[in-house]
Structure 1
Amino acid sequence: MAKSKIIKANEKIAEKVVGTFEKIEDSVVGGYTKIEDAFVDRYLTKDDETIEEAKARLRKEKA
């Protein structure tokens, strides 16, 4: 069966909406990650400890 023009148009719109949402989501999550890393680096790292090591240590202390 051939798809109508309306169905094809709706599919294109849906693809664009989903793509835009994914871009926004990536931006928000990326921004949150940068803020988290900056906070950990500034306030929670100890003597020459990397951000990843500090996060691992904090997770271990929490458990």
Structure 2
Amino acid sequence: MARSKIVKVNEKIAEKVVGTFGKIEDTIVGGYTKIEDAFVDRYLTKDGETIKEAKKRLQGKNKQ
């Protein structure tokens, strides 16, 4: 009986750890995306070009 309780508690802890890690990961990736967008907007866009268009243009140059 005691072993099954420990296993259940460990599973609950593992679920919370994985969920928390996912939230942290999403927050960090979202932060880097905002920084990337700001950089592209400030330094790499041409007149009247959107951030998405600039990223596509830059990716096209890398593929060539």
TM-score by length of 1: 0.93
Shift of 1:62: 1.5
Cα separation, 1, equivalents of 2:60 and 2:41? 17
Cα separation, 2, equivalents of 1:19 and 1:59? 33
Unaligned runs of 5+ in 1: none
TM-score by length of 2: 0.92
Q: Which has the higher helix share?
A: 2
Structure 2 residue aligned with 1:60: 60
Residue identity matched to 1:55: K
Unaligned runs of 5+ in 2: none
Q: Which runs of 4+ in 1 moved over 2 A?
A: none
- State the percentage of identical aligned residues: 77
Say whether residues 1:28 and 2:16 are aligned partners. no
Q: CA RMSD in A?
A: 1.0
